[in-house]
Amino acid sequence: MDQIVMLALTLLEQVVPQLGGANAALITKIIEGLVALIPILIKEYKAVIPFIQNVIALLRNNNQVTADQLVQLDALELQIDAAFDAAATAAQTEDQ
C-alpha cells in the first residue's frame, strides 16, 4: 500500500505543473482527492506529507486556481499543520 500511495503522489506532483490550461473542474477533483486522502495519510503515512504539501504548492501556483479553490487549499494546509502540532504535543507529553 505504501508504494501505491507514493506512486500516486509522485505522479500527481509531475502532472500538476502540466495543468497550465486545466479547467476548474479538474483542479477541484484534485483538491477533493487531497481532502479525502489527508486524514488517512496523516494517520498512517506521515512520510508522504511533504509530497502533499508540494502538490498544494504546485496547485497554488497554477493560474487557473479559483479563489474558492485557494480557500480549500488553505484549509488543507491548516489541517496538516494542526495534525503535526497535535503529534508534537503528544510526543512531548509522552517524554515527560
Mean pLDDT of the region 39-49: 77
The reported pTM is 0.70
Cell representation of residue 26: 479538474
Write down the pLDDT at residue 43.
74
Q: Write down the residue that cell numbers 486524514 correspond to.
A: 39
* Phi, psi (deg, nearest 5) at residue 92: -65, -40
What's residue 22's pLDDT?
66
**Contact assessment for residue 37 and residue 29, using Cβ atoms and an 8 Å cutoff:** no
Q: At what angle do helices 67-95 and 24-44 cross, to 10 degrees?
A: 10
**What percent of the chain clears pLDDT 70, i.e. is strictly above it?**
93
Q: What are the Cα distances from residue 40, in Å, to 2, 44, 57, 83, 95? A: 12, 6, 20, 11, 26
For residue 48, give the DSSP letter.
G
- What's the rounded mean pLDDT across residues 14-19? 84
